Amino acid sequence: KQEVTQIPAALSVPEGENLVLNCSFTDSAIYNLQWFRQDPGKGLTSLLLIQSSQREQTSGRLNASLDKSSGRSTLYIAASQPGDSATYLCAQETSNDYKLSFGAGTTVTVRA
């Protein structure tokens, strides 16, 4: 059973600082990795999807990297803003099925 780990569970930074969120996965047969954002009491919103053949994806201030050899993905958020405060979850899909395995998430607070 693949496991997805996100450390730390919570993070607080001042506005303007760059955010670095980590995701570790154990299954080398990765098909893709997705990063999601979840606001309190809401559903998940997909931020970035990295296919196994890719090393990174970028969208605006967000950049996600994928290193299959080390089993790690990193989400970078440049110049953080209070509106970036949310829980960020990563999820791994393996090659042999359609299922996503989620990490428990990192809750980010950006202080104004």
Partner 1 sequence: NAGVTQTPKFQVLKTGQSMTLQCAQDMNHNSMYWYRQDPGMGLRLIYYSASEGTTDKGEVPNGYNVSRLNKREFSLRLESAAPSQTSVYFCATQSGRVNEQYFGPGTRLTVT
In this complex, which beta carbon is closest to partner 1, that of residue 51 or of residue 81? 51
The answer to whether residue 4 forms part of the interface with partner 1 (CB under 8 A) is yes
Would you say the C-alpha torsion 56, 44, 95, 21 has a positive or negative sign? positive
- Beta carbon of residue 14, minimum distance to partner 1 (angstroms, whole number): 26
Distance separating alpha carbons of residues 112 and 98, to the nearest angstrom? 40
The answer to whether residue 34 forms part of the interface with partner 1 (CB under 8 A) is yes
In this complex, which beta carbon is closest to partner 1, that of residue 80 or of residue 92? 92
Strand ranges for the chain from DSSP E: 4-5, 10-14, 19-25, 30-38, 44-51, 56-59, 62-67, 72-77, 86-94, 100-102, 106-111
Contacting residue, 19, 30, 100, 110, with partner 1 by CB under 8 A: 100
Pairing of strands 30-38, 86-94: antiparallel
Please report where in the chains the tokens 């970028």 appear, as a residue. 58
The answer to whether residue 105 forms part of the interface with partner 1 (CB under 8 A) is yes
Applying CB under 8 A, which part among 19-27, 36-44, 56-64, 69-77 lies near partner 1? Answer: 36-44
Which tokens sit at 65?
A: 């990297």
Residues contributing to the site for partner 1 (CB under 8 A): 4, 9, 31-32, 34, 36, 41-46, 49, 51, 89, 91, 93, 98-100, 102-105
